[in-house]
Structure 1
Amino acid sequence: MLGAAPILQFGTGRFLQAHVDLFVSQALPLGQALGGIAVVQSTDSAQSSIRLAALGRAAGYPVRIRGLHESRPVDEVVNVDSVRSAWHAGRDWARLLDAVATQVQVIVSNTADQGYALDPADGAALLGAAAAVPRSFPAKLVVLLQHRWRCNPSAPTTLLPCELVGRNGDVLREAVVGLASGWGATADFIAYLRDHCVWANSLVDRIVSEPLQPVGAIAEPYALWAIERQPRMLLPCSHPAIVLTDELASFERRKLWLLNLAHSFLAECWLTEGRPHDETVLEAMCDSTMRTRLEAVWHEEVLPVFDAAGQGDEARAYLVELRERLLNPFLAHRLFDVAQNHAQKKLRRFAPVIQAARSAALGIRQRRLRAALEAASG
């Protein structure tokens, strides 16, 4: 282990390895990072434990960047050495408490789909039992932040969730505040959570296609971390891929209505037409029929909505980069995987575009998107 660090990270998976950890690693030698990262594993899986042990080694780990950038192939390996400590929440809880009380300034998380779910085993007794380890992520934050409030109440504290949840900072804050309130926490501590801690809303966008063993990842060249600007907010580092914005919703719409919509539209074609089981996004993009259909959806059914909102230029610029991403020759992104939870994804990705066109009275048919939604209900 290499000691504590001002950035505490919940999550050890390949996305954070190739995104936040990589950004901090590139910023450190330039003097543009707060410092190193302490990563926390919350599960007990054997694979996660192997990864955690590898993260704790001083040599760092590789991230292989593979794809297209400005029509040129990119294939390079970056050594990421920003991780200073690697802890298991169950075994190293005392270390986490000490780090949060003394050194941590920013808490980053990517805790997967159920990361904000509560655990009925967590209860109010945790607020008075420092030795007990909460099970859920929100409960861990309640206990850790209460300890920080008691030991170092004026120290700046920013939480930067990376989960793919709309307004993720707001959602996480309400989960933590609601839990603390339900446990009977004091009004002063609740005010600290609401008014002193900075809960940042952010959007992450990078395809990290494969893990490397025992630690490391393969990722595309494109990377974005769009963070909503707030007073008193601390960032883990400065990096070209980090964008501070007052219009986070615009970034969310571009990703959801162009990238995610494209994935689900290709998956819809794959499902309804009985295409090859192992077909990938790249193969679909190289099929002239599939590509023509997708381009028609973008140009006839989606871009007019962006134009009506005065965001057409930004959407078209995003599409230029997006086509390169979908044509990544190194990315084995199977449509079988894209199609998981397909009906729910279509509702989230297609329905808002149709509603936005209706609200703007555009008069466009959007027949492909509508047909896909009707198939979902049928």
Structure 2
Amino acid sequence: MSDIRTPVLQFGTSRFLQAHADLFFSEAAEPRAVTVVQSSGDPARAARLGALAAPEGFPVVIRGLTDGVASETETRVTSVKRTLSTATDWNALTAIFCSEVELVISNTGDAGYQPRPADFDADFSQEMSFPAKLFHLLAARFAAGARPLTIMPMELVPENGRVLRDRLLAIGTGNRAPAALMDWIAGLPFANSLVDRIVSEPLEPAGAVAEPYALWAIERAPGIAAPCAHPAVQLVDDLEEIERLKLHVLNLGHTSLVDFWKRRGGAPDALVRELMDGPEGRALLELYETEVLPGFAHKGRGDEARAYLEVTLDRFRNPFLDHRIADIAQNHPQKAERRIGAFLDWVGRSGPDMPELHAILKRARE
């Protein structure tokens, strides 16, 4: 084990995390050291895992419009000091988790959260979901008598901190965990957070290209502090306002654009900015005007939504951003439920008619 101490443990190796949390930790007034954990065990990503902790760092290129002016900068991210895999480094990971870690962050994607049969095995298994692996690490930390730590999931799930805590407690119940361990986990500070940055492409073997806009909003609660001092990191009283706008304007727009692209048999390498200049973009603008904005207006938030939409359309049209629609199309049914289905439920039956959104959701479910 190296002498480097890493108070942040990060589950996930995605290019989003590289251009978001890892970059913020590197740029912070007081930089924080990170251990990155690959929970999938995918051997195809071994090169990325090794490159993330290179002493010289990895590049993140920020391209876009800043106050209407085109800009491009490159930063070397040096916050990642160690990388591990749950498939090959479980013992080392457990030791670090029990002795160094103060903050756990995660962005494991939809597949990592899905319950698996192995989740209720008594002993650790690589076949477990991410929450089950985290449960076993927390159980080891509790048994070691280590102090509590903060858990800050970054998955795009409403109330993601509460959702993760509930999953952990359900796994503990299924494992017939001791009441003292269950109480300890239930009492840990789980932060609800919302993240936003379009990261358009990876750089090999590690690094990414992203837009200038970035947000990491964290809901205030007892025991919750900002993970670092950075302009993109905000503590807020209530995530609901930001969450609705992000999920049901930007993300809903992305998912709707996927539907229009699929129905027209679009090119597999099509970019969002290209689609915005074609029939898919026109269909999306009509959808915003006839269904999305009226839905927000029905809930008394029409002006906020229109202002946010203007920023969103600039991001979609960013001439520097090679955001592939095929990437957005991954896990399309799950995304449609969260982004469109949840919007329809929020607006409710007393709201305006939204036939196109209903049709998009129906097609995603088929």
TM (norm. structure 2) is 0.89
SS, match of residue 65 in structure 2: strand
User: Could you tell which deviates more after superposition, 265-274 or 179-188?
Assistant: 265-274
Alignment of 1:52-201 (within 5 A): 52-121=49-118, 123=120, 125-126=122-123, 135-153=128-146, 155-195=147-187, 197-201=188-192
Q: Compute the displacement of 1:352 (Å).
A: 4.0
SS, match of residue 109 in structure 2: coil
- The aligned counterpart of 1:330 is 320
Alignment CA distance shift 1:210-1:174 (3 Å): same
* 2:279 maps to 1:283: no
Q: Compute the displacement of 1:367 (Å).
A: 4.5
Alignment CA distance shift 1:369-1:116 (3 Å): closer
Code of the residue aligned with 2:136 in structure 1: it is V
Q: Compute the displacement of 1:69 (Å).
A: 2.5
* 2:44 maps to 1:43: no
Q: Compute the displacement of 1:22 (Å).
A: 0.5
Q: Compute the displacement of 1:61 (Å).
A: 0.7
What is the count of residue pairs matched by the alignment? 365
Identity rate, percent: 43
Distance 2:120 2:330 in 1: 34
Asked whether the 8 Å contact 2:59–2:208 carries over to 1, the reply is yes
Alignment CA distance shift 1:347-1:135 (3 Å): closer
SS, match of residue 86 in structure 1: strand
Residues 170-199 of structure 1, C-alpha deviation per residue, up to 9 Å, x if partnerless? 22112211212222221111100001x111
- The aligned counterpart of 1:19 is 20
Code of the residue aligned with 2:141 in structure 1: it is R
SS, match of residue 73 in structure 1: strand
Residues 41-68 of structure 1, C-alpha deviation per residue, up to 9 Å, x if partnerless? 2333333211121122211110011222
- The aligned counterpart of 2:224 is 233
* 2:247 maps to 1:256: yes
Alignment CA distance shift 1:300-1:175 (3 Å): same
Alignment CA distance shift 1:3-1:343 (3 Å): closer
Distance 1:347 1:123 in 2: 27
* 2:354 maps to 1:366: yes
Distance 1:86 1:97 in 2: 13
Distance 1:252 1:161 in 2: 15
User: Could you tell which deviates more after superposition, 223-232 or 88-97?
Assistant: 88-97
Asked whether the 8 Å contact 2:261–2:280 carries over to 1, the reply is no
Asked whether the 8 Å contact 1:4–1:85 carries over to 2, the reply is no
Distance 1:213 1:172 in 2: 31
- The aligned counterpart of 2:305 is 315
Asked whether the 8 Å contact 1:279–1:334 carries over to 2, the reply is yes
Code of the residue aligned with 1:111 in structure 2: it is T
RMSD over aligned CA atoms reads 2.7
SS, match of residue 250 in structure 1: helix
Gaps of 5+ in 1: none
Distance 1:316 1:237 in 2: 31
Distance 1:13 1:272 in 2: 29
Distance 2:115 2:340 in 1: 30
Residues 225-270 of structure 1, C-alpha deviation per residue, up to 9 Å, x if partnerless? 1222210114321222122223222222112211122223333333
Code of the residue aligned with 1:297 in structure 2: it is L
Alignment CA distance shift 1:244-1:308 (3 Å): farther
Q: Which has the larger radius of gyration?
A: 1
Q: Compute the displacement of 1:293 (Å).
A: 3.5
Q: Compute the displacement of 1:113 (Å).
A: 1.3
Code of the residue aligned with 1:305 in structure 2: it is G
Residues 96-151 of structure 1, C-alpha deviation per residue, up to 9 Å, x if partnerless? 22222222110011112121234434555438xxxx87843223222221222233
User: Could you tell which deviates more after superposition, 185-194 or 157-166?
Assistant: 157-166
Distance 2:335 2:268 in 1: 20
Asked whether the 8 Å contact 1:55–1:215 carries over to 2, the reply is yes
SS, match of residue 126 in structure 1: coil
Asked whether the 8 Å contact 1:93–1:133 carries over to 2, the reply is no
Alignment CA distance shift 1:59-1:254 (3 Å): same
Code of the residue aligned with 1:170 in structure 2: it is R
TM (norm. structure 1) is 0.86
Asked whether the 8 Å contact 2:199–2:323 carries over to 1, the reply is no
Distance 1:311 1:109 in 2: 31
